[in-house]
Amino acid sequence: MHIGPHQLNSNLIVAPMAGVTDRPFRQLCKRLGAGMAVSEMVASDPRLWTTHKSRRRTDHRGEVDPISVQIAGADPRLMAEAAKHNVEQGAQIIDVNMGCPAKKVCNVAAGSALLKDEELVHRILDAVVGAVNVPVTLKIRTGWDQHHRNAVRVARIAQSAGVRALAVHGRTRACGFAGEAEYATIAAVKSHVSIPVMANGDIDSPEKAKRVLDETRADAIMIGRAAQGRPWIFREIGHYLATGERLPPPSVFEVCRMLVDHLHELHAFYGDEAGVRIARKHICWYTRELAGSAAFRQDINRLETAPEQVAAVERFFVGLGEHDERLTYGEEELAA
């Protein structure tokens, strides 16, 4: 799959997720088979660009190409300026957020709220595409609510504006993340545009990935929540799509090393204090549903230093490895 001049190593994409798709996570997913990882969204308001959080979000040092940065906002001029600013900071692809359902984003008429104003959608995309010499992509939902599914019209607007690829989440803004994603609208979008289409929503297994690709005829799969604590899902899906066979679960030792390496990257990227705090959610995601993890997750949230955190993770996985070489799950955790 190509996005402008960029040929992706696979058609598996990491969805942008606030508080999740930082540089350490993007790099990890790329090492495990993702062809592209989209950054956390960067606000278009220039007053926020100099904050510590924004500077960290635009830090792409050592990141594997292509570097895709998502921008969010509702003012065409500010969005164009944000696109230029992020290209100057190293972005090779600019992704426009018109899919976020969060109230704090929609309340300022950004994210998926933009789907209610197709004329503004066109003005924003025209401004962003015209402002930069790198490919522009767009992420949307199927519409505002079940009575207003306008993804096909928005996709046509995007293509006419020069957008080079489109990601569609199979829910409306009103759905949030409730219920099941539907893929018929994504299939309709794919049949009405010639640019690459990425299918997104509830893709959590190799079999589901293949079914969604078959049903929608999409060019790629975009995975979000299913990669939290399971970044090897990209490797699993890639292998299944290529061979029709499932890979065995990763070994306890491999997951331990993967998580410990991830912790070191987080501690280095954020500093020990913030890194320890941010790492807690990742540790919980990696260990959820594993045998004995309920008590472990309570303990890990009390630890305050990076060495304590790493040592506790290693002890937990050593305990798992004494019982089974591969990951296994406890009934109490699966029922939780």
Cα distance between residue 326 and residue 21, in whole Å: 27
Evaluate the omega torsion of the peptide bond into residue 66 and state whether it is cis, within 30 degrees of 0.
yes
Query: How wide is the angle at C-alpha 27 spanned by C-alphas 183 and 257, nearest 5°?
Result: 105
Counting Cβ atoms within 10 Å, is residue 18 exposed (0-12), middle (13-18) or buried (19+)? Answer: middle
Closest CA to 93 of 70, 73, 111: 70
Selection from 14, 54, 91, 28 nearest residue 279 by Cα: 28
**Which of 106, 102, 109, 174 lies closest to 142, judged by CA?**
174
How far is residue 211's CA from residue 198's CA, in Å, rounded to a whole number?
14
The answer to whether the Cα torsion of 30, 135, 109, 59 is positive or negative is: positive
CA dist list (Å): 82 to 44, 276, 336: 5, 31, 43
In degrees and rounded to multiples of 5, residue 141 shows phi and psi of: -110, 180
Q: Under DSSP, is residue 58 helix (H, G, I), strand (E, B) or coil?
A: coil
- Please identify which of the residues 100, 106, 175, 256 carries the catalytic annotation: 100
Question: H or E element: which one contains 94?
Answer: strand 93-98
Residues in contact with 334: Cβ distance below 8 Å, sequence separation at least 6, in sequence order:
289
> Distance of CA 305 to CAs 53, 245, 261, 270, 281, Å?
21, 42, 16, 13, 15
Asked if 175 is an active-site residue, the reply is: no
Provide the token pair at 172.
């409306």
Q: What CA–CA distances, in Å, run from 175 to 93, 95, 145, 279? A: 28, 22, 7, 29
Active centre residues (catalytic): 100
